[in-house]
Amino acid sequence: MSTPALSLSSSFTNSTADTLLTQADAENSHGLAFPVEPPTSEQVHTTVHTEFGHCSNEAHRRFSSHIPNTPVLHPEDRDPPYYVLLSTYVSYLILIVLGHMRDLLGKRFRAKSYKHLMPSNGYAPLNSDFDSFYTRRLKKRMEECFSQPVTGVAGRTIQILDRYSKDFNHTQTSLNTVTRALNISSYNYLGFAQARGGCADAVEEGMKIYGVSTCGSRLEGGSSDLHTTTESLVAKFVGTEDALVSSMGFATNSTYIPALVSKGCLVISDEFNHASIRFGVRSSGAQVRMFKHNDTNALEALLREAISQGQPKTHRPWKKILVIVEGIFSMEGTMIDLPTILALKDKYKFYLFVDEAHSIGGIGLHGRGIADYYAVDPRKIDVLMGTFTKSFGAAGGYIAGSKVLIDRLRIRSYTGPYAEAMAPPVLTQIVASMASIMGVDNPAGTSMESLAPSSSSSTLQLISSSTSPEAQYHHPGPVPQGFLPAWITLPYALSSGFEGRERLRRLSFNSYYLHRGLDKLGFITYGHPCSPIVPLLIFNPGKMMMFHRMMKDRQTPIITVVVAYPATPLITSRVRFCVSASHTKDDIDCILRACDEIGDVLDLKHGISRKDRWSLDEICRRAVELVNLPDHEN
Amino acid sequence: MASASSPLDTVVLTIAQSLSAVERTFYKLPGSAIIERYVRSSHQNDPGRTFLELIIFFLVVRTLLQSRTRADSNNAKNFIEFTEKEIDELVEDWVPEPLSRPLDDVEAAELAAVPVVAGPNGPHPTLVNTGKPAINLASLNFTGLANNEHIKQRALEAMRKYGVGSCGPTGFYGNFDVHIQCEKDIAEFLDTESAILYWQGFSTISSVIPAFCKRGDIIVVDRAVTLSIQKGMEISRSTIRWYDHNDLHSLEEVLQSVEKERRKRKGPLTRRFIITEGIFERDGTMTDLPKLIELKQKYKYRLILDESFSFGSVGRTGRGLTELYNVKASKVDMLVGSCAIGLCATGGFCAGSKNVVEHQRINAPAYVFSASMPPLLAVSASEGINVLRDTPSLLTRLQDNIRAARALLDQVECISIPSHRASPIIHIYLRNTTYTDNLLHPSSAASMPSSKPSNPTSPIPRDAPVFDIEREERLLQEVVEEAMAQGVMITKAKRVRGLEISEARPSIRLAMSSALSKSDTEKAVHVLVKILKRKFR
- The amino acid sitting at A83 is Y
Which overall architecture, per CATH, does domain B105-136+393-432+467-535 show? Answer: Alpha-Beta Complex (3.90)
Rounded to 5 degrees, φ, ψ at B491 are: -145, 155
The residues near A570 (Cβ < 8 Å, ≥ 6 apart) are A92
Of A148, A218, A322, the CB nearest to B175: A148
Interchain CB contacts (distance < 8 Å): A and B: 383
Tell me the mean pLDDT in the region B93-118: 92
Given this model, what pLDDT does residue A358 score? 93
The CA distance from B8 to B27, in Å, is 29
Given this model, what pLDDT does residue B436 score? 45
Is residue A377 helix, strand or coil? coil
In chain B, residues 72-101 whose CB comes closer than 8 Å to chain A: 75, 78-80, 82, 86-87, 90-91, 94-101
pLDDT digits 0-9 by tens, A271-322: 999 999 998 998 888 999 999 999 999 999 999 999 999 998 888 999 999 9
Q: What is the dihedral of CA B287, B293, B294, B298, to 10 degrees?
A: 130
Report yes or no: A214 and B173 within 8 Å, Cβ to Cβ: no
Beta strand ranges found along B27-169 (DSSP E) = 116-118, 126-127, 135-136
In chain B, residues 221-260 whose CB comes closer than 8 Å to chain A: 226-228, 231, 234-235
The residues near A241 (Cβ < 8 Å, ≥ 6 apart) are A235, A379, A401, A402, A403, A406
A110 or B161, higher pLDDT: B161
The residues near A553 (Cβ < 8 Å, ≥ 6 apart) are none
Given this model, what pLDDT does residue A124 score? 87
Which helix (DSSP H) or strand (DSSP E) does residue B209 occupy? helix B201-212
The CA distance from A534 to A514, in Å, is 8
pLDDT digits 0-9 by tens, A531-562: 999 999 999 999 999 999 999 999 999 999 99
- The β-bridge partners of B240 are B219
Of B202, B281, B300, the CB nearest to A419: B202
In chain A, residues 350-369 whose CB comes closer than 8 Å to chain B: 350-351
In chain A, residues 530-589 whose CB comes closer than 8 Å to chain B: 559, 561
Distances in Å between the alpha carbon of A232 and those of A212, A244, A496, B23?
A: 21, 8, 20, 80
Task: Kindly write down the DSSP assignment for every residue of B22-52, as one continuous string.
Answer: HHHHHHHSTTHHHHHHHHHHHHHH-HHHHHH
Q: Is the pLDDT of residue B391 over 50?
A: yes
Q: Do B103 and A150 touch (CB under 8 A)?
A: no
Report yes or no: A576 and A563 within 8 Å, Cβ to Cβ: yes
The residues near B395 (Cβ < 8 Å, ≥ 6 apart) are B143, B313, B314, B315, B316, B317, B318, B388, B514
pLDDT digits 0-9 by tens, B396-433: 999 999 999 999 999 998 899 999 999 999 999 998 65
Closest chain A residue to B83 measured between Cα atoms?
A308
Report yes or no: B402 and B424 within 8 Å, Cβ to Cβ: yes
* CATH of region B147-390: 3.40.640.10
Given this model, what pLDDT does residue A27 score? 67
On average, the pLDDT of chain A sits at: 86
Q: Positive or negative, the Cα torsion across A562, A566, A570, A572?
A: negative
**By CB neighbour count within 10 A (0-12 exposed, 13-18 middle, 19+ buried), where does B448 fall?**
exposed
pLDDT digits 0-9 by tens, B113-154: 999 999 999 999 999 999 999 999 999 999 999 989 999 999
- The amino acid sitting at A157 is T
Q: Do A308 and B368 touch (CB under 8 A)?
A: no
Rounded to 5°, the CA angle B397-B400-B406 comes to 145
Which helix (DSSP H) or strand (DSSP E) does residue A158 occupy? strand A157-164
Closest chain A residue to B154 measured between Cα atoms?
A212
The two most distant CA atoms of chain B are separated, in Å, by 126
Report yes or no: A394 and B164 within 8 Å, Cβ to Cβ: yes
Q: Does B46 touch chain A (CB under 8 A)?
A: no
A28 or B384, higher pLDDT: B384
Q: What is the dihedral of CA B221, B224, B227, B229, to 10 degrees?
A: -20
Q: Is the pLDDT of residue B190 over 60?
A: yes
User: Given phi > 0 = left and psi -120 to 50 = alpha, else beta, which region is A79?
Assistant: beta
**Chain A residues within an 8 Å CB radius of B202:** 251, 255, 414-415, 418-420
Q: Do A212 and B202 touch (CB under 8 A)?
A: no
Rounded to 5 degrees, φ, ψ at A251 are: -70, -20
Which helix (DSSP H) or strand (DSSP E) does residue B509 occupy? strand B508-511
pLDDT digits 0-9 by tens, A336-377: 999 999 999 999 999 999 999 999 998 998 999 999 999 999
The CA distance from B1 to A422, in Å, is 98
**Residue B40, Cβ neighbours under 10 Å: how many?**
11
pLDDT digits 0-9 by tens, A485-518: 999 999 998 998 899 999 999 999 999 999 999 9
Domain ranges of chain B: 105-136+393-432+467-535, 147-390
- The β-bridge partners of A159 are A151, A180
Mean pLDDT lowest for which of A230-239, B165-174, B380-389, B461-470?
B461-470
Query: Does pTM top 0.90 for this prediction?
Result: no
Do the domains B105-136+393-432+467-535 and B147-390 sit in the same CATH topology, yes or no? no
Of A131, A160, A394, the CB nearest to B165: A394
ipTM of the prediction greater than 0.85, yes or no? yes
**Chain A residues within an 8 Å CB radius of B357:** none
Report yes or no: B441 and B455 within 8 Å, Cβ to Cβ: no
Tell me the mean pLDDT in the region B468-476: 91
The residues near B187 (Cβ < 8 Å, ≥ 6 apart) are B193, B194, B195, B351
Q: Do B161 and A195 touch (CB under 8 A)?
A: yes
Task: Kindly write down the DSSP assignment for every residue of A174-221, as one continuous string.
Answer: EEEEEEEEEE-SSS-TT----SSSHHHHHHHHHHHHH-S---SBTTTT
